[in-house]
Every structure is written in structure tokens, then in C-alpha cells.
Amino acid sequence: MMKPDCLHRFERAPDSSSLPEKFTFPFYYSPHQLAIQAAKEIQHKYLEPNPWRHNFGLDPSIDGFVIGKMFGVLVVKDSNNELGYLAAFSGKLADANHHEGFVPPVFDLLDETGFFKTEEQEVNDLTIRIEELEQSEELLRLTKDLSDARTNGERSVQEFKAHIRSQKAIRDDKRKQGLSSLSESEFTILENELKQESIALSYRLKEIKSETAKIIEKFEENLNLYLKEINGLKEERRLMSNQLQQKIFKHYTFLNHRNEEKSLLSIFNELGIELPPAGAGECAAPKLLQYAYQHRLTPVTFAEFWWGASPKSEVRKHGEFYPSCRGKCEPILGHMLNGLEVDENPMLQNPAADKELDFVYEDEDIIIVNKPAEFLSVPGKNIDDSVYSRIKVKYPEATGPLLVHRLDMSTSGILLVAKNETAHRFLQRQFIKRTVKKRYVALLDGIVNDDHGKIELPLRVDLDNRPFQLVCYEHGKPALTHFEVLERRNNETLIHFYPSTGRTHQLRVHAAHQLGLNAPIKGDDLYGRKGERLHLHAEYLAFVHPSTRRKFKITIPSPF
């Protein structure tokens, strides 16, 4: 059997005895050594030379918009049980879908001979026709004619109303003079004449309004007839776009290890999602698996890495490995991995199963817990075991919501618990008003040059990749963190964080993001490099006690 065009052989023979027992769980993993080796070879052979002159933001001599890119490598076995690997990039690279050494897209939207380009051009032709009609002199003339008709009509009505008012004043004078100079019968005749004049003017006003309305209606009909053509073309374009989209989704089909095939549309429809998100199926992982299945290659292990300058919103570091995105890839990979033995989803495993809670203080109103790292504060989607659930068991008589605030599962340190509703309300009010003083200690993977300062980066959840957070100035919530460097050692920085707000992953993103400290917290499995633990600890808390009304301070030194 001939070697597939995109299958690479390792430059240095890998140790086949160290193969992973199961395929990589793509949404949470540490890259296997084979994947790391494959990634380095691809980087050395294709990315560092950069033959496409794509501006990754790494070479100042290359012009153009800076676009970092996610790449993936898939280690495979061929029919002879020999190891090799495939490589892919997410989306397009240098405005093209096909490049030497990389697998093709699952469905090529840039294929000039395919139906998409032809039908896309038909949609574009409609758009051009619509723009021509919307920018035409005829539309300007019709719009102006209608506007002038309305203005002139309103002027005619107002002028006649003014005439009516002046005639009323004249009639009032005649009526006043008649009262003093005319006999009763003569005045009656005058009064009738004046009423008839008033009635005649009122009828004439109605006639003017009617004539004006007819003129305006005529110009409205002319304009609406023109707009009807535009709106008809827009509706035709909408239907054509929807039909083209549906056609793409149906032709966009994915295999799995059992050689079963499903369309992109059916994959998402089965999950109750009407339409796949934009870009679904264009990431590296689906491309790699599709090519492997098409060429009867057996997937062994997988990894994705970022190449280029960091984006403005996400935390992505050049050369670092990252999990697949959940919103776009999880439904697709859920189908494509069917039939493969895949590592267990660690997010379904209880990390606190063998851990005990350390109760460091307790009175009638509050409990202070030294929460271990990798221990949920409250029950999660898949795991119930948490500080909250254990306290409910330990204190069944306690009332109220109990937890006053939360710590990330991976963060250790001080967690304040209220034993009754009154204490909870009193303490929570302090957190809402931000009068509680908090201090965290963290060990950062990198050197922070400033001794102290503040980070203001608004945050929101990444809707396509929960629970990751994005820096977003348009829709993000304000997030403020003050910091103070304690020590610099061995390319690491020991630091104090003083958060003024409590956004999800605030300290982790503020540390790792390029516009923050650009140094992720050591052991951060989301925004840095996975380690034995996240080196972030809530070490100090100060608040007013709900009963004594005195300042209560507690410090629990960090374990690192």
C-alpha cells in the first residue's frame, strides 16, 4: 500500500514501547511525548521556514494582518503497524486550504470547481444588484419626491389653518360689532352667515388634507414599488444563502473509527442544535481524524499547539499546547472518536475523593475552611462532592445558602461559610459592597518586571469554549486586580494579588494574558502549562463578623 501524501515519518525513530494505551481525550490532556516530537518536527520543517510568508506576528519583515494559528498533529499507525504522523492547521492558512505537508479540509469551500463557489457567486451577484438599487439615483429621486410631498402637504395644511384662525378673528369682530349695532333679527341672520363661513372653511381644510394625502399616497406607492423589488431580492438572497448553508452542512460529512459517516448538520441536530456554529469542522482535529480514517490509519495520540503572536482576546502563547475547543469540536469529535479507546474524561472524575477539608475556625455563625486545591466549592455539573455538600452533611441543622463566596476548583485557601441565613446576608452584603479585603498569593511562570501595579481587563465567557474566559471590551464585565511582587527566582515570580472584583478565572486570565502580566500562574491547566497543581492560594481574608461587628482577620500561609 502506498504511503498517503500527507503521512510523515519520524525523523528520529520513536520508542514504540512507550505508546499510549488509549487515544488522547482531546479536551483535557498533557501531550504525549510522541505528539511533542511530531509537533517539533512540523515546526522545524514547515513553520519556522514559513514558505507561505504568512504573518504569524513573529517576523517583523513580513507584512499583512497578524494572524496566529492553531496547528495539530496526529500520531498514527499504518497497515504495517509503523508509526507516522499527520499535521493540520485550523481554518485557512495564507488564504488557502491546501499546503504541502498538511492534510486537506474535510470539505473545501475554496474549490473553484465545487458547487459552493458557483452558488456563492450567485448570492454575491444578488448582493451587487441590491447595492446598485439601494444606491441608485432613482431611489434618491423617489425618496426626495415623497419627502417633498409630505413637506409641501404639511405646509399647505398649516397655511390654511392659519387662514382659518385669521378668518375666525374677523368673524369674532363682526359678531362683537353686530351685538351693539344690529337688531335681534339682523344679528340672527349675521350669526348664521358667520357659521356657514366657518363650516365652509372646515370643509375646505378637510379637502386640502384629502388632496395632500392622495398626493403623498401616490409618491409612497412609487417608492414602495421600488423598495418591493429590493426586498424581494433580499428575500431571494436569504433563501439562497440558507439553502447553500444547508447544502454545505449535508455535504460536510465525517467518518469515525467504525467507518460510520454523519453530516455536520445531523451531528448538531442530534444534540438539539438547529445550526452548527460558524467554522465548525474547520479545526485541526476533525481534519486529522478524517484523513486518517479515509486512508485506513489508526489514531494513536493527538495534540494541538498555537503558533504566532497571542490574540487580543484569548490566552494563547506561541508554541504552547492547548485542548480542542468544546463548542465547535466536541459534538464532531464525539462522533469521530466513536469506536476508539479514548482516555477517560478527567472532568467526570472527582478530584476531591481522597481529600479532607481543613476546618481552621468555627463559632455559632461562621466556619472558615482551608480548601485544598482541586476541590469544588459548590456541586458541579457532573460532580456533587464539594465544600458545600460536605458541610451540608456535617452540619445538617445549618440554614441558608451556607457559602458566602467561592474559589475556583483549582485554587486553595480560605473559604468563608455562614451557618445561618442572618450571618449569610450580613457577610454577603460586604462582598457585594466590596468591603471585604482579600489577598491571594501566586507563583507565576515568568518574570514580572514591575514591582506593583494594577490590571484592568474586562472578562466574559468564551461561548464556543466554556469555561475559558475572554478579554472583551465590548461585552465583558469590568475586572480589576492590584498586584505586588514578593520575589523573583528561577524565571518565576512570587506575587500577591488583591482582586477588587470577583470574575470567573479573573486572576488566572489577568496573570496569563499578554495585556496583563503575560506570565501564567504555574500549573494552570487552562491558561498556562499543566502541573502538579495550580499555584494560586487565597491566603488572607478580612471582614466584619456578623455577631461581634468587629473586624475579623485570618491568614493561612500558602503551601508553596
Helix or strand (DSSP H, E) at 5: none
In this predicted structure, what is the pLDDT of residue 76?
97
Helix (H/G/I), strand (E/B), else coil: 32: coil
Measured distance CA(401)–CA(190) in Å, rounded: 86
Encode pLDDT of 43-100 as tens digits: 999 999 999 999 999 999 999 899 999 999 999 999 999 999 999 999 999 999 999 9
pLDDT at position 408 is 94
Q: Which has the closest alpha carbon to 240: 130, 107, 377?
A: 130
3-state secondary structure (DSSP) of residue 447: coil
List Cα–Cα distances, 512 to 29, 439, 491, 505, 509, in angstroms. 19, 18, 15, 11, 5
Alpha-carbon span 419 to 205, nearest angstrom: 78
- Residue 522, pLDDT score: 97
pLDDT at 3: 61
Q: Judge whether 516 and 503 are in contact, CB under 8 Å.
A: no
Q: Distance between CA atoms of 301 and 34, rounded to whole angstroms?
A: 8
| Whole-number average pLDDT of the chain | 94
Q: pLDDT in tens for each of the 560 residues of the chain? A: 446 789 999 998 887 678 999 999 999 999 999 999 999 999 999 999 999 999 999 999 999 899 999 999 999 999 999 999 999 999 999 999 999 999 999 998 888 888 988 999 999 999 999 999 999 999 999 999 999 999 999 999 999 999 999 999 999 999 999 999 999 999 999 999 999 999 999 999 999 999 999 999 999 999 999 999 999 999 999 999 999 988 888 889 999 999 999 999 999 999 999 889 989 999 999 999 999 999 999 999 999 999 999 999 999 999 999 999 998 999 999 999 999 999 999 888 999 999 999 999 999 999 999 999 999 999 988 899 999 999 999 988 887 678 999 999 999 999 999 999 999 999 999 999 999 999 999 999 999 999 999 999 999 999 888 899 999 999 999 999 999 999 999 999 999 999 999 999 999 999 999 999 999 999 999 999 999 999 999 999 999 999 999 999 999 999 99
The pLDDT, as a whole number, for residue 1 is 41
* The three cell numbers locating residue 332: 464532531
Return the active site residues.
408
Report the pLDDT value the prediction gives residue 121, as an integer from 0 to 100.
Answer: 93
Q: Which of 224, 153, 537, 134 is nearest to 375 (CA)?
A: 537
- Other CB atoms within a 10 A radius of the CB of residue 69 amount to 19
